[in-house]
Amino acid sequence: MEIARLFDNITALAGVEAVWVFGSEGVAHTHLPPDQTARDRLDEVRSHVASMYAAMDAQLPAIDDHLLVFDARWLLLRRAGDYVLAVIASDATSPAAVRMVTKILARHLNAAAIGTLQPPLQPEPVAPHDDEPPTAERPVRMYRGQPY
């Protein structure tokens, strides 16, 4: 089964805002909106998700699914082998529908399938800048015939 179509099935659900897969090396794949702020925070979120799973594994038996509910949206985290699948959706989205579709994806998620997907988009590098502002010659200002 083509793995990209499985990701498309998740994003086709009404209210699903973003889907991404975390691997041990970082973000393995993303289906994100063009909003740059979401892309910038992926590695930060990945480290928190990894810490959460490590803490949960130390205290509880292996729980692979977590549903974190926020004000206007929720985050579904589902562990699939060496990967963690994360889905952000609005409150109007049915968590049961998302779980059903992500269950199918989790069955097919492996390194070979991830390799067939496009790599995640990286944020554009920011050009280094000097601490000094650029020095441009300013025109001489005049007041009643006198420069000031």
Q: Is pLDDT at 52 greater than 80 in this prediction? A: no
> What average pLDDT does the segment 5-26 reach?
82
> What average pLDDT does the segment 119-148 reach?
68
pLDDT tens sequence across 3-12: 878 888 888 8
pLDDT tens sequence across 66-96: 888 888 888 888 888 778 888 888 888 888 8
Using DSSP, state whether 69 is helix, strand or coil: strand
Burial-class residue 89 by CB neighbours within 10 Å (0-12, 13-18, 19+).
buried
Using DSSP, state whether 5 is helix, strand or coil: helix
For residue 53, give every residue at least 6 positions away whose Cβ sits within 8 Å of its Cβ, in sequence order, or none: 77, 79, 84
